[in-house]
């Protein structure tokens, strides 16, 4: 089975990053993650991330700038490779369309969050970015 790339966005505004609380699957429900989703065939990773954030958070894709990669790839058993990118937001207020809740956290609170296991790999780089 070919490897599926999943992109996650570290939406940073000032000293805080936006995190999203998962609704599903049951084993991850209630835990927090960087929002994002799968890259579709023919789509670049930055374009996929802008599309996913627009869909999941109700933001205007034109109001986002997908920047540099954040941390290393995280490879999961299920054939998924997760990649995180820094994202800047020019305007708009994120809304939880696909998540239970959204929350802004600072570097001080990052390590106290109940993260999905895969996203924990990026915490050190995320703390430095904030």
What CATH number does residue 7 fall under? 3.90.79.10
Q: Is residue 38 situated within a structural domain?
A: yes
Residue 50 lies in a domain: yes
Query: What is the largest distance, in Å, between two alpha-carbon atoms of the chain?
Result: 40
Task: Tell me how far apart the alpha carbons of residues 34 and 6 are, in angstroms, rounded to a whole number.
Answer: 11
Residue 113 lies in a domain: no
- Does 118 reside within a domain? no
Specify the pLDDT at position 78: 82
How many structural domains comprise the chain? 1
Asked whether residue 10 is assigned to any structural domain, the reply reads yes
Place of tokens 């996650």: 8
- Flag whether 104 is in a domain: no
Read off the pLDDT of residues 74-103 as tens digits, 9 standing for 90 and up: 998 888 999 999 999 999 999 999 999 999
pTM metric for this prediction: 0.94
Q: Which of 7, 6, 5 is nearest to 86 (CA)?
A: 7
pLDDT at 2 over 70: no
Per the domain annotation, does 79 fall within a domain? yes
Contact 31, 107 (CB under 8 A): no
pLDDT value of residue 96: 94
Whole-angstrom Cα distance, residue 31 to residue 48?
Answer: 23
Interatomic CA distance for residues 50 and 69, integer angstroms: 14
Structural domain range at position 82: 1-14+34-67+74-91
Inside any domain, residue 2: yes
Structure tokens at 69: 């990669």
* φ/ψ (deg, to 5) at 9: -110, 125
Length, in residues, of the chain: 130
């Amino acid at each position: 089975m070919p490897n599926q790339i999943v992109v996650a966005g570290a939406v940073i505004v000032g000293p805080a990053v936006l995190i999203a609380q998962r609704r599903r699957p049951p084993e991850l429900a209630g835990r927090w993650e960087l929002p994002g989703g799968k890259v579709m065939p023919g789509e670049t990773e930055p374009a996929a991330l802008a599309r996913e954030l627009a869909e999941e958070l109700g933001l205007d894709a034109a109001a986002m700038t997908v920047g540099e990669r954040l941390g290393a790839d995280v490879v999961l058993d299920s054939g998924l490779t997760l990649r995180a990118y820094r994202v800047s937001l020019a305007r708009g207020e994120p809304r939880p369309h696909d998540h239970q809740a959204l929350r802004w956290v600072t570097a001080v609170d990052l390590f106290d969050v109940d993260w999905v296991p895969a996203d924990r790999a990026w915490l050190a780089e995320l703390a430095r970015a904030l």
